[in-house]
């Protein structure tokens, strides 16, 4: 059985292009606002969405995503809202994954979380703080539910560790292009390209690069060497900086058009 995410990468490889994956936290700027934003991304041609499970201690997230998560948490966003947003993205025809720290999965129930993911059309889960050594129950639950397990590797990951971690991945490998937290950056580090070439030596899985992409030029650059370009903070900033939700969606639409064009120009 193939997930919609796996089918997407088969399609983009045939088209010799990278995929653009947009990240938004569930419940931001509001529960309906998040769905509206996902609709805007879909209309602009974004290929897949990564839905963040808002969490109070996000070790990998920079200030922009933390601010959005705070807004979402204050509104009471929980698992039900995350799965509802996931289902909405799936109904729009977008391959959708959830990014969550381990604690919410454990609290919800490991098997139950994996089952709900599949029931609501989710392709897989990105777990940035779960090590493969502690993944046995999660691997069993996701295998049973038929969803992808996506782990994060970084420039500091050793070659031996890269081979080990990527062998446990499915869907794609999440390559964090630099050491540090998420956030839009004026300049991209060379770490992404180097890391992708190291990952390619140990796996044939698609590789998506996250952390830092915010402009058409940057999207074009990363799309030149990676199978997927993940954009989060730049999309969130467009919504945070807007005077109203309506003007935020307009800004989001313009940015998404720009980034979609950049990714398509990458090859």
Active-site positions? 50, 61
Rg (C-alpha) for the chain, rounded Å, is: 17
Question: How many CB atoms within 10 Å of residue 264?
Answer: 16
| 181 and 61 Cβ atoms separated by less than 8 Å | yes
Spatial separation of the C-alpha atoms in residues 20 and 33, rounded to whole Å: 21
Spatial separation of the C-alpha atoms in residues 214 and 64, rounded to whole Å: 13
Q: Which residues on neighbouring strands pair with residue 257, listed in sequence order?
A: none
DSSP structural state of residue 111:
H
Spatial separation of the C-alpha atoms in residues 20 and 46, rounded to whole Å: 5
């Amino acid at each position: 059985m193939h997930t919609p995410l796996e089918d997407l990468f088969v399609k983009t490889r045939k088209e010799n292009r990278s995929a653009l994956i947009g990240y938004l936290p569930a419940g931001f700027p509001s529960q309906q606002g998040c769905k509206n934003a996902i609709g805007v991304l879909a209309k602009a041609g974004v290929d897949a969405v990564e839905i963040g499970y808002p969490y109070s201690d996000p070790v990998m997230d920079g200030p922009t995503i933390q601010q959005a998560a705070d807004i979402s948490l204050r509104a009471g966003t929980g698992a039900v809202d995350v799965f509802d947003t996931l289902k909405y993205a799936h109904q729009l025809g977008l391959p959708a994954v959830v990014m969550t720290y381990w604690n919410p999965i454990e609290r919800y129930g490991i098997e139950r979380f994996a089952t709900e993911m599949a029931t609501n059309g989710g392709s897989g889960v990105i777990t940035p703080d779960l090590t493969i050594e502690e993944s046995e129950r999660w691997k069993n639950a996701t295998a049973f539910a038929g969803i992808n397990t996506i782990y994060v590797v970084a420039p500091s990951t050793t070659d031996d560790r890269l081979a080990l971690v990527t062998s446990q991945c499915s869907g794609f490998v999440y390559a964090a292009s630099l050491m540090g937290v998420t956030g839009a950056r004026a300049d991209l580090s060379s770490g992404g390209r180097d890391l992708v070439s190291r990952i390619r030596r140990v796996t044939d899985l698609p590789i998506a690069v996250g952390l830092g992409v915010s402009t058409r030029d940057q999207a074009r650059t990363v799309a030149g060497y990676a199978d997927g370009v993940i954009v989060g903070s730049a999309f969130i900033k467009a919504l945070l900086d807007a005077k109203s939700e309506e003007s935020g969606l307009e800004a989001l639409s313009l940015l998404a058009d720009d980034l979609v064009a950049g990714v398509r120009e990458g090859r």
